[in-house]
Amino acid sequence: MQKKKVVLVPLDPVHDIGLKMIKRGLEQSGHETFLLPPDLSQEEIIKIIIDCNPDVVLVSRTLGYGVAEILGRFIDLMEVSGVREKVKIAIGGMAINPELAAELGFDAGFGPGTSVEEAIAFVENREYFAESTIEKRVKKEIIKGYDYQFKNKVIEKQLDLIVDSILDYVEDKTSTAILRAQIRKQILESENEREKQKLRTDYSKLCDDTIKAFYESQKFREKTRLLTVEELIDLDQYIIHVSSKMKAINIQHVDKNPVVFIQYGTGCPFMDIAHIKACEAWGADGVVHFDPSWGARTEGLLEGHITHEEDGSVITYENLKIIKDSLAPSTLWQVRAHRGLNTPEIVLLAGKIGADLTKINIVYGALGGGTDPERLTVDAVEAIKYAAQFGMAYDVVTNEELCGVPAYKAFAGMLIVSKLGLRLGAKPILQPLFCNSPEVMVSGQMNDNYVDFNAAKIISLRNIINAPIWAGAPIGFLTQTEDRVQSSIMTALHASLASSLGVDAISIASADEAFSGGPISVSARIDTLQATQASFRFFGNADIVPTHQAEKWAKEIEENIEQVLDNVIRRGNFISALYEGLLGSREEGAYPGRAGKGSVMKNIPED
Amino acid sequence: MSFIIGIAGTAKNTGKTTTTSTILNELRKNNIKIGLTGIGYDGEELDNITGLPKPRLLLKKGMIVATAQKCLSVGTAGFNVLETTDISTPLGKVIIIEVTQEGLVVIAGPNKGRELRLILDKMTRFSCDFIIVDGALNRIAPMVETDGLILATGAARNSNINQLVEETVYFYKIFNLPSVTKEEKDLVKGLNKITLIERHQKNYFALDYAVLIDKTAVSQIVSKIFQYNTIYVPSLISQSSLKELSAAINKSWKGKTLIVKDSIKLATGGTPYEVYSKVEEILSFGGNIKVEKSIPIIAISVNPFYPKYRFDINNYEPGFIDSKELYFSMRNAVPTTVVDVKRYGCFDLIKAIKSFYKPRE
């Protein structure tokens, strides 16, 4: 590499830090640098450049109105002095981009986020392939390195007994959801339109009246409609336009920082994609699809690109497909299926379209999500089989904690559904609540700090099993207020606590999520993404140290889990245990769901 | 040969694109082959800095355009690529195209004088009769390659009409300095350093510098000037050096001539008032100042628009000064064609251009 002579010109006295970093990088690469003092006149700078005869001049200046003319004159002075022809010149600073560099007459323009390597490549006349482009980001792994070995052998044994009983129970049972998933699979795999139509007729017979009306007479459910062709064309143009401009920001600062997910479900796939693109641009690693609450209580799924006037984006093959197609290749995508009457079919669709993750939890879905425990148990086993078949890991979220169920009971349920998954060849991810739950509000475990009890949960799970942990969902929930700064700080601190505890992934809220009083705004999403990034930067590999209370509570949680599992075993039937409150009682706020009650059918094997 | 006209501005938002667009529209009616390039970046929808909407460049079939590769994908005009040049810009290589279907274009051409020359030569070879070089910001240095300028100025440069007019008058005067004689032209031909010349004996003394921007060069000139009657500066002369040179030679300027390469080398050296007041001082001492290459100002285009900053919303909104007062004050003060194309149309502008360039019928 030929040694280059580089003059670094801080035309902006307060913003020459970038130049100093570039100077160091250039010198380390063997180049000769001259960093000028910041108080020279333009004529003095030109004189130095003439005398120094450099190969490259790098100018630093933040842009504002009127500054463009100062830079334009500088380039003119270079030109009329005859040095412009001899040197390459670049401008760097806030608000600088290639279009501005062209307008100002520079050879290149470097804006915020430019790496030292990019500047060195410019000096060395090399083409720079930005590592930071969104297309080049690598998809992160959550489950890698986990062998699911139980450290607590007592619990492992207990779980095995319960899983045996679940599998025995469901063996000869089926449901309309399972049958619909089978028909949907045939529809997706058939290339014959007549056959597809016949299958749709069969499908609609297994649906609620509202869904039946759609298949039989194209009648849409209230507050839903198809996206128009024009809207879909606009969407494609929007995606192309936005994707071409996106650079990837890394939220993580050190390796141990967890993978960061956001949740979307505006009701409109177009709007969802806009939220996703903004979050990708600000560094989100993954996105979670939220469907409408009525979707969980309705037998059957719709078809087409459907938009919905309220929260929750309607799950159809077409909606999921356009969302998936809009994602950057590195973005992890989860379609949640954990709580309703269409669980197997949603997991099937997610798998067919190429989702990375899904979400299945019988206990939460049955006790906090409104679905009948027996029905969801039968459906979830089928759903987990699909997840295993498509290689999709699934998380088991303990959102029943938000109803008031104590963590140890929710964890017992989570471990049962996880062990069930392991038995069926799937990869579960533990998703404990990482926030201020009703349990601790009543019992006071977070009166002093938000650290110890969250730490206790993670420590207890780590003491039980070597499995991935995804803190949910969203972290810091019920610690955030309507104040966006406060809310962002709470999210960021919970993120750093999760990182300190070695958690693999987190879901974060927008700064206005808890108190938006309407749709979540994109700017509020960026608040928490940036706050999380700043917090990761702040703590780096430094840890947040819980008090001795964390270990004590962790031990208590672990002992209580054993006790709960023992109770379930003694009851002899997992589903009865759910109905009877062993994994969360009515007094604790858990009510067995009624949707789909009595709908489990005897599975008649085909001859 | 093509006739090349530069649209130079005194700042951003002074009306360069509107002026360019007006000329394009009018001249195409004369059945001449028009070429367009630019030294910056123009034709985009929103201003890079203020975010306010900008005028667009609508090109007609048959026009020849030189613009950067990345700009081609954001326009709507249909085109054939005539040549991909080796000239690079931050937005990719400069491509020469012929418009095949009317549409919008974004222009980002070469931004150095030498590269502009290469592109202009190529466009000439593609049979352009008339080429417009769209300017950028307040940049004028590459305009040395043009045959004449239209100066776009207005409230975006200075919203005080009196000050704006005064500045324009001095700017015009700098560009209206007399040209060298044939004999003087031969005398300085090929010189690329500051050179002192005794024109009768044809004695030459060359300094080590091409630019006149510091005391060392001024001192050297002053120490030798008594033996010579001509100073030739092929490059930049800064305002402070001109001031020092004027004062140091003082009354000895009598009978001596300062020849500068072109007016742009003087105009970029400082503010028009300061530069021209030193020119006047040298003239008052009995000296002469001439330019080797004349770049006439064909017309002055005025624009009352300026981006008005609003502190309450931390953003810009369109602002306007009194357009009639601006136009008439300028017309009364500057002895050349003054136009406000938005208010009064382009008749005077086209007339002024045609006085320099006669399109074939």
- Nearest partner of B290 among B269, B267, B260, judged by Cα: B260
Mean pLDDT (chain A) is 92
Mean pLDDT (chain B) is 91
pLDDT band at B361 (very low <50, low <70, confident <90, very high): very low
Residue pair A119/A110 in contact (Cβ under 8 Å)? The answer is yes
**B259 shares contact with chain A (CB less than 8 Å):** no
Contacts of A69 in chain B (CB under 8 A): 11-12, 137-138
- Which ipTM score applies to this complex? 0.88
Q: CA–CA separation, A373 vs A575, rounded Å?
A: 6
Q: B8 in helix, strand or coil?
A: strand
pLDDT, tens digit, 9 for 90 and up, residues B195-217: 999 988 889 999 998 999 989 99
Q: Which of B14, B49, B117, B317 best tests the A interface by mutation, with the highest count of A CBs <10 A?
A: B49
Strand pairing class (A224-226; A306-308): antiparallel
- Quick one: pLDDT at residue A19? 86
Q: Which of B41, B118, B171 best tests the A interface by mutation, with the highest count of A CBs <10 A?
A: B41
Q: CA–CA separation, A99 vs B92, rounded Å?
A: 11
Q: What is the mean pLDDT of residues A60-87?
A: 87
> What CA–CA distances, in Å, run from A432 to A113, A192, A457, A502?
35, 45, 7, 14
- pTM for this predicted structure: 0.66
pLDDT, tens digit, 9 for 90 and up, residues A426-467: 999 999 999 998 888 888 999 999 999 999 999 999 999 999
Residues with Cβ within 8 Å of B346's Cβ and at least 6 positions away in sequence, in order, are: B22, B23, B25, B26, B339
- Nearest partner of B146 among B35, B308, B270, B19, judged by Cα: B35
Residues with Cβ within 8 Å of B8's Cβ and at least 6 positions away in sequence, in order, are: B16, B135, B139, B140, B143, B149, B150, B151, B152
Tell me the count of A-B CB pairs closer than 8 A: 116
pLDDT, tens digit, 9 for 90 and up, residues A168-211: 999 999 999 999 999 999 999 999 999 999 999 999 999 999 99
Residue pair A104/A75 in contact (Cβ under 8 Å)? The answer is yes
Q: What is the mean pLDDT of residues A373-396?
A: 97
Q: Fill in the amino acid letter for B51.
A: G
Cα of A37 to nearest chain B Cα, Å:
18
Backbone angles phi, psi at B301, to 5 degrees: -105, 125
Give the number of other CB atoms < 10 A from CB of residue A538: 12
Q: Give strand pairing partners of B179.
A: B291
Cα R_g (chain B), whole angstroms? 22
A105-109, A157-161, A524-528: lowest mean pLDDT where? A105-109
Q: Give strand pairing partners of B37.
A: B133
Q: CB-based burial of residue B55 (10 Å sphere; 0-12 exposed, 13-18 middle, 19+ buried)?
A: middle
Q: A226 in helix, strand or coil?
A: strand
Q: Fill in the amino acid letter for A604.
A: I
Residues with Cβ within 8 Å of A239's Cβ and at least 6 positions away in sequence, in order, are: A273, A277, A326
Backbone angles phi, psi at A557, to 5 degrees: -60, -45
Q: CB-based burial of residue A101 (10 Å sphere; 0-12 exposed, 13-18 middle, 19+ buried)?
A: buried
pLDDT, tens digit, 9 for 90 and up, residues B93-141: 999 999 999 998 889 899 888 999 999 999 999 999 999 999 988 899 9
**B111 shares contact with chain A (CB less than 8 Å):** yes
Q: CA–CA separation, B46 vs A99, rounded Å?
A: 12
State yes or no: pLDDT of A607 exceeds 60: no
Give the number of other CB atoms < 10 A from CB of residue B124: 17
pLDDT, tens digit, 9 for 90 and up, residues A2-47: 899 999 998 876 667 788 889 999 999 999 999 998 888 899 999 9
Inter-chain touch A106–B111, beta carbons under 8 Å? yes
Contacts of A108 in chain B (CB under 8 A): 90
Degrees, nearest 5: CA angle B17-B19-B22 = 110
**B90 shares contact with chain A (CB less than 8 Å):** yes
State yes or no: pLDDT of A350 exceeds 70: yes
Nearest to A80 among B48, B68, B235 (CB): B235
Q: CA–CA separation, A313 vs A290, rounded Å?
A: 6
Strand pairing class (B3-9; B130-134): parallel
Residue pair A348/A571 in contact (Cβ under 8 Å)? The answer is no
Q: Order of strands, edge to edge, in the sheet holding A5-10?
A: A32-35, A5-10, A56-60, A88-92, A108-110
Closest residue of chain A to B11, computed from CA coordinates: A69
* Dihedral, B110, B116, B121, B124 alpha carbons, nearest 10: 70
Q: What is the mean pLDDT of residues A560-575?
A: 97
Cα of A21 to nearest chain B Cα, Å:
23
Nearest to A76 among B50, B91, B139 (CB): B139
Q: CA–CA separation, A541 vs B319, rounded Å?
A: 52
Q: What is the mean pLDDT of residues A105-133?
A: 81
Cα R_g (chain A), whole angstroms? 28
Closest residue of chain B to A89, computed from CA coordinates: B90
Inter-chain touch B90–A108, beta carbons under 8 Å? yes
pLDDT, tens digit, 9 for 90 and up, residues B212-247: 998 999 999 999 999 999 999 999 999 999 999 999
